Amino acid sequence: MENQIYQVLARKYRPRTFAEVAGQTAIIKKLQQAISNNRVPHAFLFAGPRGVGKTTIARIFARALNCAEGPAVEPCNRCIFCREIYEGTSMDFLEIDGASNRGIEEIRSLREAVSLRPARARYKIYLIDEVHMLTGEAFNALLKTLEEPPEYAKFIFATTAPEKIPPTIVSRCQRYDFKPLGFDEISDMIKMVVESEGYTIEHEALKKLVETGSGSLRDILGYLDQIIVLAEGKTITTVLTREVLGIASGENVWQMIDTFVSGDTKQAILFLHRMVSEGKDITNLLGAMARKMQIFIWNAYGINITDEELDKIWIERFKPVGAGKFIRGLELVMQTKEKIRYEPLELVLAELLCFNLVETLKTPLEKIETTIVSDNTAAQQETQNEQMEKKQNVLSDSDIKERVSEDTPLSKIINSWDEILLRIKKGKPLVYAALREGRPVKIEDNCIHIAFGANFSFLCQKVTENRQIVEKTLEKFLGVHYTIRCFVSNSEKKTPLNENPRVKEIIEFFGGGEIVETEE
């Protein structure tokens, strides 16, 4: 029986020395220099986003200052002073949460406590987290202390919003701006944690994990906790990672944006409630939403960052909405994300955001449908030559039947087609969903011609865009390099669309795209 209580990774792997901290090297160097030069100021301001090491570094710094063998550039972590700070029992190191102790009374009693000498240690050190939450009166009281601090007192103020702190306070602090951690810094740390836990992690899973955490090591370790609990065996797979992260990122986020674009306020609110009831953190959800909006805007200006199939499809769908609306939408998301952190009624703020986003992003559905139709038409008319070729490539059913005899390369491909599809499905389910509506009908100069029914021009286009994926799979499977060419054929059998469950499935895959019947 496992009798140890599971300790969350962020806590288990919390660095005990400066050397163990991921990133922030410039800040650490400066703090260590202050100690070794014996020039430690009275007050520090640690500013920066959440989860990048502000309180961790503050605690190590406090130990380094009060260590029996110090002040030293690293705490010994063995003496009574170090241990008490580490265990949170030190009388001379006090952590105060600015969000819940924001009033004048709390700061007054802090002032009284500061006037008493340290109980045992060298310094009396105060760490006030989220100090920007203090009230104006409380800041005034704090300022008096900072103006004439006792020589044994040290203050470390941590904040995610330094601009909300009065300049009179800021000017009395030595300021340190913490940067979000870089990709390599985080992935090195995650690899270390994963290996120490006896697991391995797939490269793509690691990438997904780091991207979703947007620079916050604490958030990423939180996700890793959930993933490890669910992992079967000792490998953290991409599939599982996507599953655990998926709800707050990927498809659900696009679907949520879709409720705004459709102008469906009720669905937007219900969607939000579902996310919250599934235990999703609202701030993370807004962060994921902001990232999707950002890549949409990038795309509109010709900056193509994403290599995700899913993103490309949604970006295409939302094109008629326009970058302008998305820029205003992104602004709203960022404003709410900022407000929401310490607002006890965060759900109310998130709901308000939904109302505002519907107003900002809603675009009549007809407009979206029309654009898809005209996009297709445009694509089909791209060049006269191409269209001529297309016409030549439209084969009649009898034509096709004639060509398929038993041992031609084409018949081999047709016989293995289902298996080829399955291979593509494993890596690229969306390409698979589109490709299975086409069928190979001809091979010419090592080029496989794939016909799609006239009502599947959208899928035909999707496969064409992803033809390299199909070609690679074909090469792996057949050992011969083929190119593919997709075309829409009038002679391909039309399925009564409403009766076809596979069509429904595809529409869901593509996030509710409309079936557009096009005339050749």
Name the site residues for Zn ion (rule: CB under 5 A). Answer: 67, 76, 79, 82
Smallest distance, Zn ion to C-beta of residue 80, A = 8
Q: Are 321 and 261 in contact (CB under 8 A)?
A: yes
Toward Zn ion, which CB reaches closer, 84 or 437? 84
DSSP, collapsed to helix, strand or coil, labels residue 509 as helix
What lies within 8 Å, CB to CB, of 454 at 6+ separation is: 488, 489, 490, 492, 494, 517, 518, 520
3-state secondary structure (DSSP) of residue 85: helix
227 vs 127: CA distance, rounded Å: 32
Q: Which is nearer to Zn ion, 82 or 228 (CB)?
A: 82
Separation of alpha carbons 28 and 371, rounded Å = 54
d(CA 54, CA 179): 10
Closest CB to Zn ion among residues 76, 143: 76
Residue 362, classed as helix, strand or coil, is coil
Helix axes 250-261, 346-361, angle to 10 degrees: 60
Shortest Å, Cβ 68 to Zn ion? 5
Structure tokens at 99: 């969000």
Specify the residue, 85 or 286, whose C-beta has the smaller distance to Zn ion: 85
Residue closer to Zn ion by CB (options 45, 67) is 67
Q: How far is the CB of 124 from Zn ion (least distance, A)?
A: 17
Min dist. Cβ of residue 96 to Zn ion (A): 23
Q: Which is nearer to Zn ion, 67 or 134 (CB)?
A: 67
Q: What are the DSSP calls for 437-505, one per residue?
A: TEEEEEEETTEEEEEEEGGGHHHHHHHHHTHHHHHHHHHHHHSS--EEEEEEETTSPPP-GGG-HHHHH
Alpha helices in 248-364 (DSSP H): 250-261, 265-277, 282-300, 309-318, 323-340, 346-361
Nearer Cβ to Zn ion (82/470): 82
Min dist. Cβ of residue 81 to Zn ion (A)? 5
Q: How far is the CB of 82 from Zn ion (least distance, A)?
A: 3
Q: How far is the CB of 153 from Zn ion (least distance, A)?
A: 20
